Amino acid sequence: MKYKNIREEELKNKVGADWFKQFDTTEILGNIDFTVFPKQDNLFGRIPLLWAEAKTGNFDIPTMFVQLILTIGKARTFDKTLPPAFLGAFDFKKIAFVDYINIQDIFYLNDFNWNVTPSNHETKEFQLIKDRIEAVLKTKTYVFEYQKDEKILNTFIKNNVAKATTKNRIKIDKNNFIPIYLRWIEIVKPIIDVNWDDLKKANILDSDFYLADIFVDDKGTQNIDDDLTIRDSLFVVFQNQGYSIS
């Protein structure tokens, strides 16, 4: 087997060097085992591409994902940085990916104790998330063996992970609306060239600009020329590459 009988730190280093050499895999983010970032910044800074759990041996995929989810949920990592396009889990034999958007709702479960130890498999929280993640993984996961699936794994990384900075979509709902708004204030608001004090006197707030961005239809392209706010009854809309106040 490709990475048999090595320690976890060596496994992470080898997986990073062998499969993600075009990215930065050196960044440590809380207690997450393995992260993948683009080497270059974009508008929102360095948006993570992948957060992953790493295990030595031949490990159960759902169990690895549960530990990762409990680790992320305990630290509320998604409130501190934009989440990645993918979550992942790997051991010495295989690596698996799941779209973050497909498990995002788990982080907002009601009456859930996120303070349990992620590695304790006996808690009711661990089992509850395992039941949820197993249902997702049956239809919405990508699993590759390093040796048998070498070619298609490289293709998947090239066509999906590498392009996640432009293709990634975050589902905005009542649970993450405020955290994303706070991130918008930090990153986007400073580059909007308006007099905020004057606008406030006219009862136009930064949140109106945020809503204009939220409801933009980008026509499925990365070209800003055709971006247009499609929600009616907003005070501010985005059109013709700029904001208009109605």
204-241 confidence digits (pLDDT tens)? 999 998 888 888 766 555 555 555 676 677 888 887 77
CA distances from 54 to 3, 77, 89, 96, 152 (A): 12, 18, 6, 11, 21
Tens digits of residue pLDDT in 71-110: 999 999 887 788 898 999 999 999 999 999 899 889 988 8
Number of compact structural domains in the chain: 2
**Final residue belonging to a domain, choices 167, 200, 230:** 167
Same domain, 124 and 210: no
Q: Are 50 and 97 in contact (CB under 8 A)?
A: yes
**Triad 136, 108, 120: Cα angle to 5°:** 70
Which has the higher per-residue pLDDT, 244 or 36?
36
Asked if residue 109 is part of any domain, the answer here is yes
- For residues 113 and 225, membership in a common domain is answered with no
CB atoms closer than 10 angstroms to residue 226: 12
Q: Residue 182 falls within a domain, yes or no? A: no
**Is the residue at 175 inside a domain?**
no
On whether both 128 and 21 belong to a single domain, the answer is: yes
- Euclidean distance between CA atoms 137 and 103, whole angstroms: 10
The confidence score (pLDDT) of residue 169 equals 57
Element (H, E) at 155: helix 150-156
Q: Which of 134, 167, 200 is the last residue of a domain?
A: 167
Q: Same domain for 122 and 232?
A: no
Strands (E), the chain: 34-36, 50-54, 86-90, 94-99, 141-145, 216-217, 228-229, 236-239, 242-245
Q: Averaging pLDDT over each range in 125-134, 187-196, 220-229, which range is the top one? A: 125-134
What local confidence, expressed as pLDDT, does residue 225 receive?
53
pTM of the model: 0.74
- Phi first, then psi, for residue 217 (nearest 5°) are -100, 115
Question: Which pLDDT band, with edges at 50, 70 and 90, does 120 fall under?
Answer: very high
The set of residues, in sequence order, having a beta carbon less than 8 Å from that of 83 and lying 6+ positions away, is 48, 51, 77, 100, 104, 170
The mean pLDDT of the chain is 86
Do 58 and 161 fall into the same domain? yes
Q: Are residues 84 and 205 in the same domain?
A: no
Q: Is residue 203 part of a domain?
A: yes
What is the reported pLDDT for 140? 85
pLDDT confidence band for 170 (50 / 70 / 90): low
* pLDDT at residue 216, as a whole number: 78
Higher-confidence position of 92 and 187:
92
Has residue 211 been placed in a domain?
yes
Tell me which residue range forms the domain holding 208. Answer: 188-245
Pair 50, 124 in one domain:
yes
Q: What is the pLDDT of residue 125?
A: 96
Q: Given this model, what pLDDT does residue 163 score? A: 79
What pLDDT does residue 236 have?
87
What percent of the chain has pLDDT above 70? 87
Asked if 160 and 192 sit in the same domain, the reply is: no
Are residues 160 and 200 both part of a single domain? no
CA dihedral sign of residues 180, 182, 186, 188: positive
Top-confidence residue, 14 or 41: 14
* Main-chain phi, psi angles of 90, to 5 degrees: -150, 155
Q: Spell out the residues 6+ positions from residue 9 whose beta carbon is closer than 8 angstroms to its own.
A: none
123-137 average pLDDT score = 93
Q: Which of 59-68, 83-92, 111-120, 159-168 is predicted least confidently?
A: 159-168
- The pLDDT, as a whole number, for residue 63 is 96
| Partners of 90 in beta bridges | 54, 95
